[in-house]
Amino acid sequence: MKIIRTWKGWTTREDAPIYEEMLIKEVFPAVKQKGVDGLEKVSISTADKEDEVEFFLVLQFDSLEAVKKFAGENYRQAYIPENAQRVLKRYDRMAEHFELQEELILK
């Protein structure tokens, strides 16, 4: 059963491009190098708010075991490397997890 993990964090407008690049070039490549093979897909979405940028991350794993390999036994806790914490104004302390029931690709 595939697992969808969601999480939100917020940056200043100035730090948003820095954080996005960090996710793409540092954070998730490092996760793959750690041997988390069950992480299949990462979606990074943003919403411009009045004085900040909201990031919404959706990670797709092939199993709950892969989530635990990524985040540890206390897998509900957010996974935020130190360098990422420095550019986030605030963030959800816990991630949400869902079992993927169906995925429709409509073209």
pLDDT confidence of residue 58: 98
Residue 88 covered by a domain = yes
Q: What is the CATH number of the domain that holds 42?
A: 3.30.70.100
Residue 95 covered by a domain = yes
Residue 8 covered by a domain = yes
What is the full per-residue pLDDT of the chain (107 aa) written as tens digits?
A: 999 999 999 999 999 999 999 999 999 998 888 888 899 999 999 999 999 999 999 999 999 999 999 999 999 999 998 889 999 999 999 999 999 999 999 99
> Can you read off the two tokens belonging to residue 37?
């093979």
Cα(60)–Cα(39) distance, rounded to whole angstroms? 6
Q: What range does the domain containing 15 cover? A: 3-99
Q: For residue 19, give the nearest of 67, 71, 77, 89 by alpha carbon.
A: 89
Cα(60)–Cα(3) distance, rounded to whole angstroms? 6
List phi, psi (to 5°) of 42.
Answer: -130, 125
Residue 70's CB: how many other CB atoms inside 10 A? Answer: 18
pLDDT confidence of residue 36: 85
Q: What is the number of domains present in the chain?
A: 1
Residue 35 covered by a domain = yes
Residue 24 covered by a domain = yes
Residue 106 covered by a domain = no
pTM score, two decimals? 0.92
Residue 25 covered by a domain = yes
Residue 105 covered by a domain = no
Cα(30)–Cα(94) distance, rounded to whole angstroms? 21
